[in-house]
């Protein structure tokens, strides 16, 4: 049995949209380009043909990866979680020891984007926050030095 992994609806939709775009837009366009290039004659020295075939293999490889990934993912709707603790899907508002506000959403490992504040529950920060409640002080260990934060709000939106 294959492992299942949680993902938010937004994360799942991004992968699904990419797969649909590759299948219905990008791949047909490249197939047509390869066909047009093949019609020009000698394929062994035809750069457009060679590049097109390479691009087609890359698209097919990505589509296979996305199809297999989507089969493993289990959508967890954050709005359906009713908890006063940090769990999967929670948006956690924090204040660090210098008074600087921070915000993170606990998401699946396949949708992590630190720039957007999307962190995995398996990451060091995610692990430190899991199970915490509003008012809890959390020590986050990181290479730049330990950071102490206070949980100020937990939302499931």
DSSP at 103: E
Reduced to 3 states (helix: H, G, I; strand: E, B; else coil), residue 29 is helix
Where does the chain hold its CATH 3.10.50.30 domain(s)? 78-155
Structure tokens at 29: 């366009």
State mean pLDDT over 111-119.
Answer: 93
- C-alpha to C-alpha distance for 128 and 107, rounded to whole angstroms: 14
* Fold (CATH) for 78-155: Chitinase A; domain 3 (3.10.50)
pLDDT band, very low/low/confident/very high, at 82 (cuts 50, 70, 90): confident
Pairing of strands 137-140, 91-96: unpaired
Query: pLDDT over 70 for what percent of the chain?
Result: 99
CATH number of 5-75: 1.10.287.180
Whole-structure pTM value: 0.79
């Amino acid at each position: 049995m294959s492992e299942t992994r949680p993902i938010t609806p937004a994360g799942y939709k991004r992968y699904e949209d990419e797969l649909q775009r590759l299948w219905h837009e990008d791949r047909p366009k490249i197939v047509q380009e390869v066909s047009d290039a093949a019609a020009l004659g000698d394929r062994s020295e035809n750069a457009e043909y060679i590049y097109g075939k390479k691009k087609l293999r890359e698209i097919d490889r990505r589509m296979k990866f996305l199809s297999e990934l989507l089969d493993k993912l289990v959508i967890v709707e954050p709005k359906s979680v009713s908890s006063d603790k940090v769990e999967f899907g929670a948006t956690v508002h924090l204040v660090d020891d210098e008074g600087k506000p921070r915000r993170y959403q606990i998401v699946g490992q396949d949708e992590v984007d630190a720039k957007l504040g999307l962190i995995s529950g398996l990451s060091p920060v995610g692990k430190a926050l899991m199970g915490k409640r509003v008012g809890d002080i959390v020590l986050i260990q990181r290479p730049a030095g330990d950071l102490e934060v206070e949980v100020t709000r937990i939302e499931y939106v």
